[in-house]
A = this chain, B = another copy of it.
Amino acid sequence: MHLMSRWDPEVSRSVEDYLKAIYTLQESGGAVRTSTLAERMGVAAPSATSMVARLAAGGFLRHTPYRGVELTEKGSRIALEIIRHHRLWEAFLHHALDVPIDQLNEEAERLEHVLSDELEAHMVRVLGDPTHDPHGDPIPSADGTVDSAVYPNVTDLPDGASATVRRVPSEDPALLRYLKTLGLLPGASIVLRRREPFHGPLTLTADGVERVIGRELAGQILVEPGSPPELPRAHPAKQRRRRG
Binding site for B on A (CB under 8 A): 92-93, 96-99, 103, 106-107, 110-111, 114, 116, 118-119, 122-123, 125-126
Q: How far is the CB of A120 from chain B (nearest CB, A)?
A: 10
In the complex, the 5 A-B pairs of residues with the closest C-beta atoms, listed nearest first: A96-B96, A97-B122, A110-B114, A99-B122, A107-B119
Q: Please tell me if the beta carbons of B114 and A126 are within 8 angstroms of each other in the complex.
A: no
A110 surroundings in chain B (CB, below 8 A): 114, 116
| Contact with A123, one of B97, B106, B125 (Cβ below 8 angstroms) | B97
| Contact with A96, one of B106, B107, B116, B126 (Cβ below 8 angstroms) | B126
What separation, in Å, do the CA atoms of A71 and B42 have in the docked complex? 35
What separation, in Å, do the CA atoms of A118 and B118 have in the docked complex? 25
A92 surroundings in chain B (CB, below 8 A): 96
| Given A97-B123, A110-B114, 19 other A-B residues pairs in contact with their CB atoms under 8 A | A92-B96, A93-B119, A93-B122, A96-B96, A96-B126, A97-B119, A97-B122, A97-B125, A97-B126, A98-B122, A98-B126, A99-B118, A99-B122, A106-B116, A107-B116, A107-B118, A110-B116, A111-B114, A114-B114
What separation, in Å, do the CA atoms of A98 and B114 have in the docked complex? 18
What separation, in Å, do the CA atoms of A125 and B116 have in the docked complex? 25
A-B contact pairs, 26 of them (CB 8 A): A92-B96, A93-B119, A93-B122, A96-B96, A96-B97, A96-B126, A97-B119, A97-B122, A97-B123, A97-B125, A97-B126, A98-B122, A98-B126, A99-B118, A99-B119, A99-B122, A103-B118, A106-B116, A107-B116, A107-B118, A107-B119, A110-B114, A110-B116, A111-B111, A111-B114, A114-B114
